[in-house]
Amino acid sequence: MNSLLITHYSLLITHYSLFITHYSLLITYYLLLLQHHFNSTTRSNINTSSLRFYRLVLN
């Protein structure tokens, strides 16, 4: 009975640690996606502003 309890609790601990790892990886993944999204939007904004500048200079 005692060994069953120990096994049960160790499996519970393993389960929750995997749970936590899974969600932390998910959060990291979404943060990276968000960062990439913001980087691409700022890059496109910089590109459009530089295009405006070139048009002004050329005209």
Interatomic CA distance for residues 25 and 29, integer angstroms: 6
50/31: higher pLDDT = 31
pLDDT (tens digit, 9 = 90+) per residue, 15-49? 999 999 999 999 999 888 888 777 776 666 666 67
pLDDT of residue 59: 60
What the block records as the tokens of 40 is 């691409």
| Band (1; pLDDT cuts 50, 70, 90) | confident
Greatest Cα pair distance, the chain, in angstroms, is: 87
Q: Average pLDDT of 3-17?
A: 94
Q: Average pLDDT of 2-9?
A: 91
| All structural domains of the chain with their residue ranges | 25-59
